Structure 1
């Protein structure tokens, strides 16, 4: 069971070094074969420091998964800011479609095609029994909620009719990345050129349901 003792916040540099070392060893050797001694040696800290910062190896694994997930959430928020901000009711229909496709393709390359995403998927699949519950993923609903907020903003600008922003976000994801995952087994646009046509058609289907007249 993860530790319940009070942990030290400690040095940001040392914490990052421990997380990086643990991530590398968990991916290379697996959780069970990665010792705290080996993690400490790679991070160039003492074994005591690892325990002081994280308490035990299971808590450290969860911290690694959380750190990767937080990095990906930052990617989602940055992409939303760069692609779906500043649109107004004067935006032409084609402009809104292009913006949503651009957002989707950026997610399919910058996130779903990233080493961070591959790392998260590998850790969650391989080490599920050592995580708090099956399918544990620190990202949880955060990206969906961030997209829902942006869709609500587009509705406020008069571009969309979105009675339930979270439902609209879930449907947008299902129509774009979800279709690619179901049909191709991946939504990684870097590796598979078939992803883009599916994303484009998904965006168009979404707009037929939600675009204002």
Structure 2
């Protein structure tokens, strides 16, 4: 007979469920009404929990917003990058294959989350509250860039590319891809205005440019 969960265990699970409900509710409100348009009372109502529950778990609206940002970026599987890279290196894979996988991971994240709307929110609110942009970078863009930097450094160390400045190169490759897959959406520039090429063309051209600069030298 399997013993029933203890009282502390049940309380912990309930607290975790409430936290996820609160974060999801707060994100929906922030995206719709902006940072100033939301308070803990509205978050509690949206999450269908008591206001005191929100306060007990977070303490302030700023803490709720920080938790929303962390949860948003947590769906980007950065831990998979190094694993995929080592698998690629172990099977004799080339840098282009890894960069394609990286680009697909980034595109999936953008398409499957509210990344465009969230980026717009951060841009709009950071003028009044600079900490919002700083936190968005700290929990999202910085880890993303670092993960790519680490992978490029590994490719350089194994002789697959010639890239003595992997941090600079990571920013460059992100720029080559994101210029097409996110910023036109953030700025609400229509595809008819941009005459946007397909995603696979953007990636292949970006990889070609990147490896023309950083490809291994014989």
* 1:196 alignment partner, SS class: helix
CA distance in 2 between counterparts of 1:32 and 1:107 reads: 30
- The one of 58, 66, 71 equivalent to 1:54 is 58
Q: Which moved more, 1:191-200 or 1:56-65?
A: 191-200
Structure 1's 112 and 15: CA in aligned 2 closer, same or farther, altered over 3 A? same
Question: In the TM superposition, what whole-angstrom CA distance separates every residue of 1:63-103 from its partner, at most 9, and x where no partner exists?
Answer: 2123212333xx3433x2464332338736xx432332232
User: Shift of residue 181 of structure 1?
Assistant: 5.9
CA distance in 2 between counterparts of 1:148 and 1:42 reads: 40
- Structure 2: unaligned runs, 5 residues or longer: 1-11
Aligned partner of 1:185 in structure 2 is: 184
The correspondence of residues 184-203 of structure 1 with structure 2, limited to 5 A, is 185-186=184-185, 193-203=197-207
Higher relative contact order (CA 8 A, sep 6+): 1
Structure 1's 87 and 140: CA in aligned 2 closer, same or farther, altered over 3 A? closer
Structure 1's 16 and 132: CA in aligned 2 closer, same or farther, altered over 3 A? same
CA distance in 2 between counterparts of 1:131 and 1:16 reads: 26
Contact preservation (8 Å) 2:95, 2:161: no
Question: In the TM superposition, what whole-angstrom CA distance separates every residue of 1:164-196 from its partner, at most 9, and x where no partner exists?
Answer: 221221222223334x269x7259xxx965332
TM-score normalised to structure 2 length = 0.73
User: Shift of residue 39 of structure 1?
Assistant: 1.5
CA distance in 1 between counterparts of 2:161 and 2:90 reads: 9
Aligned partner of 2:70 in structure 1 is: 66
User: Shift of residue 145 of structure 1?
Assistant: 0.7
- The one of 76, 79, 83 equivalent to 1:77 is 79
Number of residue-to-residue matches in the alignment: 194
The correspondence of residues 3-18 of structure 1 with structure 2, limited to 5 A, is 11-18=15-22
TM-score normalised to structure 1 length = 0.75
Aligned partner of 2:23 in structure 1 is: 19
Question: In the TM superposition, what whole-angstrom CA distance separates every residue of 1:23-72 from its partner, at most 9, and x where no partner exists?
Answer: 12222333333332221123232211211222222332232123212333
Aligned partner of 2:158 in structure 1 is: 157
- Pair 1:87-2:85 in alignment: no
CA distance in 1 between counterparts of 2:116 and 2:92 reads: 36
Contact preservation (8 Å) 1:83, 1:103: no
Q: CA RMSD in A?
A: 3.0
Bigger helix share: 2
Aligned partner of 1:211 in structure 2 is: 215
* 1:144 alignment partner, SS class: helix
User: Shift of residue 107 of structure 1?
Assistant: 1.6
